[in-house]
Structure 1
Amino acid sequence: MKIEERSALLVIDIQQEDFMEMNESNMDDPRWECIRNAKRVLDVFRARKLPVIQIKEVHRPDMVDFGRELDGSEGIHCMENSPYTDYAKLTYPVEGEYLISKRRYSAFFGTDLEILLKGLHVDTLYLIGGFTDVCVHYTAVDAHQNDYHIRVVKDAVAGSSREAHEYALKAIQYLQRDALITTADVEAADS
């Protein structure tokens, strides 16, 4: 496997809200495997100087932008006035990375992501973050429908449950047979 030159990394919703309990004393905890892998993938893209696009979900305090989102299993989350809505510390954006705030599951919906990708001449998107079955899945589907090649780093994404994670990965692979890769694949492509 080779990382294509016209690639970009989408860091999807890796925010403090999900990693607030992570600290220096528990970094090796198995529950942080996804974010540790995400950091490894991020390091490869940073070293190669390929575009990194950090995406976070944000909602207004009066909640007018939640839409139907609260009809499902999720409660109120990612409020713009909460410090937990910020990017997670381990994968925090660095200078030169692109930042996108979204109000819906797909990073394409109601954002300038498509304009940014066209300006960067990107044709392949690598996806890390969460949730596999929600924001990663809907972003991957929209990327596919906009004719991008997608690579979901399956050990650098996490789902709302193990079962939902696995089903979402199967659905993504149904769209593009070469879509699923691992952190080790990304690192090996860089060597």
Structure 2
Amino acid sequence: MACTALIVIDMLNTYAHEDADALVDSVRTCLPGVGEVLRRARAGDAPVIYVNDNFGRWRSHHGEILQAALDGKHAELVEPIAPDDDSLFVVKARHSAFFETPLAYLLGQLGAERVVLCGQVTEQCVLYSALDAYIRHLDVVVAADAVAHIDPDLAEAALRMMEHNMSADIRLSHEIAFNASAER
């Protein structure tokens, strides 16, 4: 049976990078949306998949990545949206959640034909992940109030590109359904 999977991109962040100061306020703004889409996915028994950078620690596993983020400068941005025991986890090295990761295979095993994207950064990792989902013939939904940006103008352009070039459904987190009869 086809399902919808939630993909949470790079929300486990240490905020120890050059763009962190520009990103933090946007993350604070999108946290309620991320929380809402997580609640809706879990209530609908949808797979929740965290896809995250590994901070260059190639021995990293999800516990180390989560702990590094919680030990970082802004644990308050990580704690409310931390993975639960049922969450799945994929480590990535580049911008796209799909690039050289097992995400496409995992989605196939889950029977996912539709993905909902949330996380950071809208104009980078979310955009590239949406493109890679689209070229894999997945229906793409982006929770517009659950994505954070560094550059607001580029983020707005990225959302328009996802909608127009990738047929992404851009909607607010409270409008996204995760059950089998969910509208596109």
* Residue of 34, 40, 45 corresponding to 1:38: 34
Q: In structure 2, the residue corresponding to 1:119 is in which secondary structure?
A: helix
Distance in 2 (CA, whole Å) between partners of 1:134 and 1:34 is 16
2:166 matches 1:170: no
* Residue of 121, 125, 143 corresponding to 1:135: 125
* Residue of 51, 55, 60 corresponding to 2:51: 55
Distance in 2 (CA, whole Å) between partners of 1:30 and 1:162 is 9
* 1:15 Cα deviation from its structure 2 partner: 1.8
Unaligned runs of 5+ in 2: 17-24, 59-63
Corresponding letter in the other structure for 1:151: V
* 1:18 Cα deviation from its structure 2 partner: 4.2
Instruction: Provide the TM-score with structure 1 as the length reference.
Output: 0.75
> When the two structures are aligned, how many residues end up with a matched partner?
162
Decide whether aligned partners of structure 1 residues 35 and 129 sit closer, same or farther in structure 2, where only a CA change above 3 A counts. Answer: same
Native 8 Å contact 1:58 1:85 kept in 2: no
Corresponding letter in the other structure for 2:174: A
Decide whether aligned partners of structure 1 residues 31 and 145 sit closer, same or farther in structure 2, where only a CA change above 3 A counts. Answer: closer
Instruction: Provide the TM-score with structure 2 as the length reference.
Output: 0.77
Report sequence identity in percent: 28
* 1:159 Cα deviation from its structure 2 partner: 1.5
Residue in 1 aligned with 2:22?
none
Decide whether aligned partners of structure 1 residues 61 and 55 sit closer, same or farther in structure 2, where only a CA change above 3 A counts. Answer: closer
Give per-residue Cα distances to partners, 1:28-85, cap 9 Å, x unaligned: x8861201110111001011111000111113359xxxxxxxxxxxxxxxx96x8238
> Aligned Cα RMSD in Å?
3.1
Residue correspondence of structure 1 range 36-185 to structure 2 within 5 A: 36-60=32-56, 83-84=68-69, 88-177=78-167, 179-185=169-175
Native 8 Å contact 2:9 2:118 kept in 1: yes
Decide whether aligned partners of structure 1 residues 166 and 110 sit closer, same or farther in structure 2, where only a CA change above 3 A counts. Answer: same
Unaligned runs of 5+ in 1: 20-28, 63-78
Decide whether aligned partners of structure 1 residues 162 and 139 sit closer, same or farther in structure 2, where only a CA change above 3 A counts. Answer: same
After superposing on structure 2, the runs of 4+ consecutive aligned residues of structure 1 that deviate more than 4 Å are none
Q: Rg: which structure is higher?
A: 1
Which range moves more in the overlay, 82-91 or 100-109? 82-91
2:3 matches 1:13: no
